[in-house]
A and B are shown apart, each in its own frame.
Chain A
């Protein structure tokens, strides 16, 4: 789990580095607003059921196309368009070959999986942040996920069923994980996404101090939770991380928002600074 957490921490800093160095293209008109958040909430609720209903091949194709887009976008600043596309295809081919040869529980496959996740999460969080997603939007999502994560993970087996379905499928990195004993421990893609997104948005909105405190608190919570789950109350299953992290994110947002006189920086103000 510690390895997985270290990879997650690396993802957080990589996404901030990417945010500072790379300008992703954005539509001529459009910035994130409340209606986008509502659509995301609806998507978060419905998409797991959709994936559970769809045949595996459809899910694999969808994720393959998505992975190409994410990897290519991630690599384009360094490699330009066509080489980035070929590199993405090569990496996904390698990922598939490793899955077939070594199996889904092998360390090699977990490593390629984690690399794919690092690139994907970096791009997704940057797309959101660089297209104007605000800290208040993230805190609304965090508040929603506090309840939803409990519902989908503990009260209902949605997340569990989904993870079991997707675990052995290629191109679908659903867990930032590492071998622990006879099993795999890690951070689910949703939790990883949020742990990366929140500090990034806080960095843009309120500055380095807010972002760094968010990182420290997040990973402190994750380490404590891991200790609790492994040593004190081993469940051997899934834990709704956002049940604890969600309220923490909301409180942090309210604190910094109030400290900043009810104002969060726009991208224009961030770049000016």
Chain B
């Protein structure tokens, strides 16, 4: 027990001074966490010691770390070196983080090596899934690869997402290698079984979820699944259609991300797998990793202040968005969590609304928060009443039972007023159309015209879904 205090002190010291995290200390802390879980079956009820700086001091600490990162970026990366020279920016004398312009997504996507530090040896290149075009890539050092998986394991254990007795099925696309690799290694460190199935047919996934095991110290069936919302929708749709019930499965937790998780999807998932299913949602992207957000019990997404800085800018200007106003997420991952590919004020082009505290939720100790992610900037539509985001449309559609999961849809600005929405609906009727329009209007979508198609290939501007990035097998699944 005393060694836990020493390990935590070593980790906090490196966080405060922005030095590389002591990997041995992190591994030691993880080992102690696993031992605690095994001894007691749960972690203790006292909160972990955290740095509890007042907001002003925290802001000052962040700014200093940002400045430190900017100085290094100017010295060691071609992109920022040229940017600072061209714009006459001296990173040692900046007064606020907005003195440095945002980094456009397309530059990182097209020229990732311009952001890599000259003095760090990159050993891995991770790529995004590329749902908005060509995948973006980021390079990592060995230190980052090792610490990210240990931190990931610690985070999963502390939040109760994965336990040593779990059997986890990873249904993400095999090209999301960095995330998949992190998850597998994290499970190994925790002592859980991680089974990488890839994004196979829904029938095959149902097959695996029903499979029974007889392994000492492990659950009888797959207890955790890691997947995208659209793929989960496919699996749930298939399972419900085939008449499966919660008693057929041993699933307890769903780790979900990389898309819009709607209330309709959650409700139908509970119908198939049981009301006791717990969802773990969050926000992450390769470009800003390991800075990521975790969803609390009140629906906000909270970000760990030690990992980086999150800003929300207005949709069409660089000014900060007000609480409740739709804006673009701008993120800066900070040392010691990020060292190889430096991005300062990276324009993620993901949309959210800033949320102001004070918070009373389960993650109130992480005061930087936004709403749940609303979609991509590219897919949002501006109209006379404001903005319509992907989430507005998805929530409206997936709450309708007649719409098969995942909802296939698109939307664009109408020539006159409002928004035109298209949706795939195998069996349409006037009643269902009225229901769709009514739901959309309840979600503040000013529908001017609704297009209904019976085949997803007939959609004109479909929102891309990750469930279409299939890993194919020869097995046809459930007998």
Give the B-binding residues of A (Cβ under 8 A): 25-33, 35-36, 39, 131-132, 266-268, 271-272
**Residue pair A28, B41 in contact (C-beta under 8 Å):** no
Which B332-352 residues sit within 8 Å CB-CB of chain A? none
- The verdict on B275 contacting chain A, using a C-beta distance below 8 Å, is no
Q: How far does the alpha carbon of A27 sit from the alpha carbon of B4 in the complex, in Å?
A: 10
**Residue pair A28, B45 in contact (C-beta under 8 Å):** yes
Which residues of the other chain, A, contact B158 by a CB distance below 8 angstroms? 28
**Residue pair A267, B40 in contact (C-beta under 8 Å):** yes
**For A27, A32, A39, which residue has the most chain B Cβ atoms within 10 angstroms?**
A27
Contact pattern, B 14-33, Cβ under 8 Å of A = 1, otherwise 0: 00000000000000010011
Which residues of the other chain, B, contact A27 by a CB distance below 8 angstroms? 1, 4, 44, 46
Given known pairs A267-B39, A268-B38, the reply for A28 and B1 (CB within 8 Å) is no
Given known pairs A36-B1, A131-B1, the reply for A30 and B41 (CB within 8 Å) is no
**Residue pair B36, A30 in contact (C-beta under 8 Å):** yes
**Residue pair B32, A36 in contact (C-beta under 8 Å):** no
- Total B residues in contact with A, Cβ cutoff 8 Å: 20
Q: List 28 A-B contacts (CB under 8 A).
A: A25-B45, A26-B40, A27-B4, A27-B44, A27-B46, A28-B36, A28-B44, A28-B48, A29-B32, A29-B33, A30-B44, A31-B32, A31-B39, A31-B40, A33-B1, A33-B35, A35-B2, A35-B3, A36-B3, A132-B36, A132-B40, A266-B40, A267-B39, A268-B38, A268-B39, A268-B40, A268-B41, A271-B41
**Residue pair A29, B36 in contact (C-beta under 8 Å):** yes
**Residue pair B2, A266 in contact (C-beta under 8 Å):** no
CB < 8 Å: which of A26, A33, A36 contacts B44?
A26
**Residue pair B46, A36 in contact (C-beta under 8 Å):** no
Which residues of the other chain, B, contact A268 by a CB distance below 8 angstroms? 38-41
Residue on B with the closest CB to A266?
B39
Give the A-binding residues of B (Cβ under 8 A): 1-4, 29, 32-33, 35-36, 38-41, 43-48, 158
Which residues of the other chain, A, contact B41 by a CB distance below 8 angstroms? 266-268, 271-272
Distance (Å) between the CB of B338 and the closest chain A CB?
Answer: 25
Which residues of the other chain, A, contact B43 by a CB distance below 8 angstroms? 28-29
Q: How far does the alpha carbon of A28 sit from the alpha carbon of B46 in the complex, in Å?
A: 5
Which residues of the other chain, B, contact A267 by a CB distance below 8 angstroms? 39-41
Residue on A with the closest CB to B5?
A30
Which residues of the other chain, A, contact B35 by a CB distance below 8 angstroms? 31, 33
**For B1, B29, B35, B36, which residue has the most chain A Cβ atoms within 10 angstroms?**
B1
Residue on B with the closest CB to A267?
B40
CB < 8 Å: which of A26, A35, A36, A266 contacts B45?
A26
Which residues of the other chain, A, contact B32 by a CB distance below 8 angstroms? 29-31
Which residues of the other chain, B, contact A30 by a CB distance below 8 angstroms? 1, 4, 32, 36, 44
* Other 16 A-B pairs with CB < 8 A, given A30-B36, A31-B35, A268-B41: A26-B40, A28-B43, A28-B48, A28-B158, A29-B33, A29-B43, A29-B44, A30-B44, A31-B36, A31-B40, A35-B2, A36-B2, A36-B3, A132-B40, A267-B40, A267-B41
Which residues of the other chain, B, contact A33 by a CB distance below 8 angstroms? 1, 3, 35
Q: How far does the alpha carbon of A39 sit from the alpha carbon of B44 in the complex, in Å?
A: 22
Residue on A with the closest CB to B48?
A28
Q: How far does the alpha carbon of A32 sit from the alpha carbon of B45 in the complex, in Å?
A: 16
Distance (Å) between the CB of A140 and the closest chain B CB?
Answer: 16
Which residues of the other chain, A, contact B40 by a CB distance below 8 angstroms? 26, 31, 132, 266-268
Residue on B with the closest CB to A269?
B41
Residue on A with the closest CB to B30?
A29
Distance (Å) between the CB of A19 and the closest chain B CB?
Answer: 14
Q: How far does the alpha carbon of A29 sit from the alpha carbon of B157 in the complex, in Å?
A: 10
Which residues of the other chain, B, contact A271 by a CB distance below 8 angstroms? 41
Q: How far does the alpha carbon of A233 sit from the alpha carbon of B89 in the complex, in Å?
A: 90
**Residue pair B44, A32 in contact (C-beta under 8 Å):** no
**Residue pair B46, A26 in contact (C-beta under 8 Å):** yes
Which residues of the other chain, A, contact B36 by a CB distance below 8 angstroms? 28-31, 132
Residue on B with the closest CB to A130?
B40
Which residues of the other chain, B, contact A25 by a CB distance below 8 angstroms? 44-46
Distance (Å) between the CB of A99 and the closest chain B CB?
Answer: 34
**Residue pair B2, A39 in contact (C-beta under 8 Å):** yes
The 7 closest A-B pairs by CB, nearest first: A268-B41, A30-B1, A26-B44, A30-B4, A28-B44, A31-B39, A132-B39
